[in-house]
Amino acid sequence: MLLPRLFSFELAWAEAAYVAIYPDPPRNPLSRGIRAMKPARFYDELIAGVPTEQALGLRVSLWIVALAPLFVLRRLCTIAALSEAERVTVLERLLASSVYAVRQLTLGFKAMGALRYAQDHALRAEMTTPRLAPAPEDSGPVLKEPEGAVHLRVLDRAKLMASSSGQTRAANEVGPDHAAAEGASDV
């Protein structure tokens, strides 16, 4: 059983939701949003090209996002009838829902938009280029480290080999993890 293509009202829902998720500047640090990429048509073609079960899941995720204002804002309208700020609020609440299926279907919907958004080579290059953080006027530009960055310890093989030959007995007494950490450096 093949599901029909998206109806015009479903295309409007998808367009409205994706423009809220991937907006145009200035709300977006990238040079452009997803609007010009026709995300609703992409979603329609995606649904048409996958097996029925996956198409049904994609369509359900669209309907959850589209009808969420009824439950989130208690307003009798769809996502397409909301202002952009209200759409963002609805999507944020869906992604923070206590119902696992709602969170995951919304995240899946968002991920499908990311697939379309990242198809643009210029935007993909922008996404992968580190940005310079604003610095005090008297200093040069500073590369901003992402929030929550994790520093990995890189083991220096030469130090480990040199230290392990003379410290094998000590390493056995304190454990192999401690000995490995002595030859490690922060990155």
Inside any domain, residue 141: no
Same domain? For 157 and 126 the reply is no
Q: H or E stretch including 153? A: strand 153-155
Tokens of 35: 């609007």
Determine the pLDDT at residue 171: 46
Same domain? For 13 and 91 the reply is yes
Highest mean pLDDT among 65-74, 130-139, 175-184: 65-74
Inside any domain, residue 85: yes
Range of the domain at 58: 8-130
Per-residue model confidence as pLDDT tens digits over 15-57: 999 999 999 988 888 888 999 999 999 999 999 999 999 999 9
Same domain? For 60 and 104 the reply is yes
Q: Report whether the peptide linkage leading into residue 146 is cis, meaning its omega lies within 30 degrees of zero.
A: no
Q: 58-92 in b/e burial notation, b at 16+ Cβ within 10 A? A: bbebbebbbebbeebeeeeebbbebeeebbebbbe
Inside any domain, residue 143: no
pTM: 0.68
Same domain? For 14 and 106 the reply is yes
Same domain? For 37 and 109 the reply is yes
Inside any domain, residue 59: yes
Beta bridge partners of 133: 142
Same domain? For 28 and 115 the reply is yes
Q: Helix or strand or coil: residue 82?
A: coil
Same domain? For 55 and 92 the reply is yes
Characterise 38 by phi-psi region: left (phi > 0), alpha (psi -120 to 50), beta (else). Answer: left
Same domain? For 124 and 85 the reply is yes
Same domain? For 42 and 126 the reply is yes
Domain count for the chain, please give it.
Answer: 2
Do strands 184-186 and 132-133 pair parallel, antiparallel, or not at all (unpaired)? unpaired
